[in-house]
């Protein structure tokens, strides 16, 4: 048996009188040092990217953090245990309130709503609660406004959006909560908004209508596997919340005659996931917001880290996915992908105005399909609807770093309308891989004003002259000298 003796690495590195030994040792030493430095650099870069609050291009771009699934509740109640009657006539407000109180006292739990029609006035949720709607369960909102409580205006809006002073609360409401789930076997929450819409059109309401579901100043919210229908006003309104997941939700309202029935309005929210939903409503399908004029600027809560994916949306009178116009707290790091927008007035829109302040930046649209849409892509900077006359017209928003990739469709009247202005130019817009079938033969169908950006590769229809042209490899073909030119057709 031969004993093998291994010479220590440090000893081999000191044998300078043997070049054949010394050179490999030095090489190995340098390689180890370089490898260690690279590992340290990558760890530092990863940590910086995850925590960075800058707005540059991030290699490890965070959309939202990892999420914990809600825990199973340790106790469950049925609404009938508290005197609930699902006949569509009996008012069950007291039953809901008693059930929520019992769950609160237990430190959490699940409320099962069985099949039936459960008429109720507005009620509040509590933390660590699951509201579970069985198949065939329908929660009906009382359509008489005297049963709806009045609440203070949202601090980032100044007053009730439609009227000064207080506003009506939501049918299902929550404030300062943690770990709330609304789910089921596709049960329905129906706001019975028809009476509200009629009174609004007749100007018989003295306060702003309430949303169907509104959760405020809360964290860890999951809404899934339900239908939301006929909201008096905005349908689902998370306000100043963190870690919100909305998935497998159907949202319905008439596409005409149901004013302001937005589908989902994340408002001053952070870390939001909206996926696998069907939305057909009387206003914007999704509208990302962050406060209105000087009130939103003062409140200072941006909407950020929002991922919207795998949706089908119809908005006959407005847009499929909007940002604004109330965006005074800022909107950033939004991705909209794999979305079909059909039979709509507009597909994706950013809307703002002087007086809003704030910013819209780091917005990514990709894999969008437009079908029978009047205007596909819209950026509008003159949406002059203000909270009151005290807004500052010099508070102009910043619009920049917006990209559109893999945009396709047919039956589109005007594919692109980017309406920047001298005071609000649109900066760093990118188009790549776009082919949209047209239903309009007028000359200016890709319309621009005060916009700077680029087109990469071949797109159809031909872009406006405001944009630089690059080939597929990213080589500059033509630099635009017409960024401030305008060919907006206001009759569209």
Are 228 and 329 part of one and the same domain? no
Residue 347 lies in a domain: yes
Domain identity same for 437 and 369? yes
- 371: CATH: 2.160.20.10
75 to 96, 140, 350: CA distances (angstroms): 16, 25, 45
Whether 362 and 307 share a structural domain = yes
Centre a 10 Å sphere on the Cβ of residue 40 and count the other Cβ atoms it contains. Answer: 10
Give the catalytic positions in this structure.
283
**In the prediction, which pLDDT does 29 show?**
53
In a domain, 152, yes or no: yes
Element (H, E) at 97: helix 93-105
Q: Does 236 share its domain with 266?
A: no
Q: Which of these, 245, 248, 290, lies nearest to 265 by C-alpha position?
A: 290
Listed residues 183, 207, 240: the one ending a domain: 240
In this predicted structure, what is the pLDDT of residue 469? 97
Helix (H, G, I), strand (E, B), or coil: what is residue 3?
Answer: coil
Gap between the Cα atoms of 426 and 398, Å rounded: 8
Q: Which of 240, 275, 306 is the last residue of a domain?
A: 240
Range of the domain at 227: 75-240
Let me know whether 284 and 227 are in one domain. Answer: no
User: Does a structural domain hold residue 126?
Assistant: yes
Domain count, the chain: 2
Are 314 and 430 part of one and the same domain? yes
- Residue 63 maps to a domain: no
- Clarify whether residues 282 and 228 are in a common domain: no
Q: Which residues pair with 140 in a beta bridge?
A: 119, 190
Report yes or no on 50 lying in a domain: no
How many angstroms separate the CA atoms of 347 and 128, rounded? 37
State the pTM of this model.
0.86
Say whether both 153 and 281 belong to one domain.
no
Q: 41 near 35, Cβ under 8 Å?
A: no
Q: How far apart are CA 174 and CA 197, in angstroms?
A: 24
The rounded distance, in Å, linking the Cα atoms of 346 and 339 is: 13
Residues in the chain: 492
Tokens of 272: 């939001």
Q: Are residues 277 and 231 in the same domain?
A: no
246: in domain: no
In a domain, 52, yes or no: no
- Adjacent-strand bridge partners of 447: 417
Do 187 and 280 lie in a common domain?
no
- What pLDDT shows up at residue 221? 98
pLDDT in tens, the chain (492 residues): 434 444 443 333 334 334 343 334 443 455 555 555 555 555 544 444 433 333 333 333 444 445 555 568 999 999 999 999 999 999 999 999 999 999 999 999 999 999 999 999 999 999 999 999 999 999 999 999 999 999 999 999 998 789 989 999 999 999 999 999 999 999 999 999 999 999 999 999 999 999 999 999 999 999 999 999 999 999 999 999 999 999 999 999 999 999 999 999 999 999 999 999 999 999 999 999 999 999 999 999 999 999 999 999 999 999 999 999 999 999 999 999 999 999 999 999 999 999 999 999 999 999 999 999 999 999 999 998 898 999 999 999 999 999 999 999 999 999 999 999 999 999 999 999 999 988 776 666 899 999 999 999 999 999 999 999 999 998 999 999 888 878 777 665
pLDDT at 443: 61
If you write DSSP's letter for every residue of 139-181 in order, what string do you get? Answer: EEE---GGGSPEEPPPTTTSS-SSSSS-EE--SEEEES-EEEE
Q: Same domain, yes or no, for 407 and 374? A: yes
Question: Are 207 and 336 members of one domain?
Answer: no
70 occurs within a structural domain: no
Q: Are the beta carbons of 151 and 124 closer than 8 angstroms? A: no
Would you call 30 helix, strand, or coil by DSSP? helix
Q: Which of 195, 210, 240 is the last residue before a domain boundary?
A: 240
């Amino acid at each position: 048996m031969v004993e093998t003796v291994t010479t220590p690495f440090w000893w081999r590195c000191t044998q300078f009188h043997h070049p054949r030994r010394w050179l490999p040792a030095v090489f190995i030493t340098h390689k180890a040092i370089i490898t260690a430095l690279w590992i340290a650099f990558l760890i530092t870069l990863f940590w910086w990217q995850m925590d960075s609050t800058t707005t540059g291009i991030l290699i490890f771009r965070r959309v939202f953090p990892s999420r914990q699934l809600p825990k199973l509740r340790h106790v469950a109640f049925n609404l009938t245990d508290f005197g609930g009657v699902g006949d569509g006539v009996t008012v069950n407000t007291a039953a809901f309130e008693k059930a929520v109180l019992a769950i609160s006292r237990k430190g959490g739990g699940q409320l099962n709503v069985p099949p039936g029609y459960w008429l109720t006035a507005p009620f509040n949720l509590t933390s660590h609660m699951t509201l579970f709607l069985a198949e065939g369960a329908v929660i009906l909102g009382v359509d008489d406004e005297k049963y709806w409580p009045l609440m203070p205006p949202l601090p980032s809006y100044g007053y009730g959006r439609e009227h000064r002073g207080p506003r009506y609360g939501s049918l299902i409401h929550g404030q300062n909560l943690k770990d709330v789930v609304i789910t089921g076997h596709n049960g329905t929450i129906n706001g019975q908004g028809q009476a509200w819409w009629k009174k609004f059109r007749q100007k018989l309401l003295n306060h702003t209508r309430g949303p169907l579901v509104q959760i405020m100043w809360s964290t860890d919210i999951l809404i899934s596997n339900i239908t939301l229908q006929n909201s008096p006003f905005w349908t689902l309104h998370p306000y100043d919340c963190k870690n919100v997941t909305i998935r497998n939700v159907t949202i319905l309202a008439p596409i005409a005659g149901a004013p302001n029935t937005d589908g989902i309005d994340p408002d001053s929210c952070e870390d939001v996931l909206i996926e696998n939903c069907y939305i057909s409503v009387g206003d914007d399908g999704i509208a990302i917001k962050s406060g209105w004029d000087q009130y939103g600027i003062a409140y200072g809560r941006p909407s950020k880290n929002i991922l919207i994916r795998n949706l089908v949306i119809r908005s006959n009178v407005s847009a499929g996915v909007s940002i604004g116009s109330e965006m005074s707290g800022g909107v950033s790091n939004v991705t909209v992908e794999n979305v079909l927008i059909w039979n709509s007035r507009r597909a994706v829109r950013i809307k703002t105005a002087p007086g809003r302040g704030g910013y819209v930046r780091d917005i990514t649209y990709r894999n969008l399909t437009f079908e029978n849409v009047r205007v596909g892509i819209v950026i509008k900077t003159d949406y002059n609807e203000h909270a009151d006359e005290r807004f500052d017209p010099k508070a102009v928003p910043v619009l920049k770093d917006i990209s559109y990739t893999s945009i396709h469709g047919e039956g589109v009247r005007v594919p692109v309308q980017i309406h920047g202005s001298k005071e609000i130019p649109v900066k760093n817009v990118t188009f790549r891989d776009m082919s949209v079938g047209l239903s309009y033969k007028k000359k200016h169908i890709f319309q621009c004003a005060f916009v700077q950006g680029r087109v990469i590769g071949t797109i159809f229809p031909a872009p406006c002259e405001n944009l630089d042209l690059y080939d597929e490899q990213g080589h500059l073909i033509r630099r635009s000298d017409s960024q401030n030119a305008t060919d907006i057709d206001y009759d569209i």
